[in-house]
Amino acid sequence: MLPHNLQLKVRYPIILLRNFNPPQLYNDTQLIVKKLMKKCCRSHHFEWQVLGENIFLLRIPIIPTDVPIEFKRFQFPISLAFTIRINKFQGQTMSVCVIYLSKPCFVHRILYVAYSWMSKPSSLFVLAVDSEHLIVPQD
């Protein structure tokens, strides 16, 4: 059984859910956790490695308006990014990429975009579920 609660740890990939200091840190930017730090009970600092530069992020206050009781919580504006949709990752490059094709819809376009991300095309792996549209690497 898969865990229902994923814990944030060092070296985990994450994605930003809000804009911070555009154009460097914007929504959907993928980062890697470098170090977790705890300054006090209400603020945790994160240190990221982006283009050789360390970036620190704090939890931000979130006040929901759709509930009858007013309260405030502090939350990191991030999400774990072990998997990512193709439209969220356009414009970035990767060293290793695995593509899971569950449906044959727009297969050629997806492969074209995926190959354009790669620094080395030999680091791209494709998993196709439909045997009719199976893609086999050529040697």
Each residue of 68-88: pLDDT tens digit?
999 998 877 888 877 666 666
User: Do 98 and 70 share a structural domain?
Assistant: no
> Are β-strands 124-128 and 43-50 bridged in parallel, bridged antiparallel, or unpaired?
unpaired
Query: What is the pLDDT confidence band of residue 138, given thresholds at 50, 70 and 90?
Result: low
User: Do 138 and 70 share a structural domain?
Assistant: no
Return all residues near 33 (Cβ < 8 A) that are at least 6 apart.
Answer: 8, 9, 10, 11, 12, 14, 46, 47, 48
Structural domain ending residue among the three candidates 64, 82, 100: 82
User: Do 53 and 32 share a structural domain?
Assistant: yes
133 against 88, higher pLDDT: 88
The total domain count for the chain is 2
Query: What is the pLDDT confidence band of residue 1, given thresholds at 50, 70 and 90?
Result: very low
Whole domain around residue 60: which residue ranges?
1-82
Structural domain ending residue among the three candidates 47, 66, 82: 82
Average pLDDT score over residue span 48-75: 78
Q: How far apart are CA 47 and CA 54, in angstroms?
A: 6
Q: What is the pLDDT, as a whole number, of residue 43?
A: 35
Largest CA distance in the chain: 62
User: Do 71 and 27 share a structural domain?
Assistant: yes
User: Do 66 and 28 share a structural domain?
Assistant: yes
Name the least confident of 80-84, 112-116, 130-134. Answer: 130-134
Structural domain ending residue among the three candidates 66, 82, 98: 82
Which 3-state string (H, E, C) describes 10-30? CCCEEEECCCECCCCECCCCE
Which candidate, 23, 24, 13, places its Cα nearest to that of 46? 13
User: Do 35 and 11 share a structural domain?
Assistant: yes
Helices (H), 1-139: 107-117
User: Do 70 and 131 share a structural domain?
Assistant: no
Contact 16, 29 (CB under 8 A): yes
User: Do 77 and 9 share a structural domain?
Assistant: yes
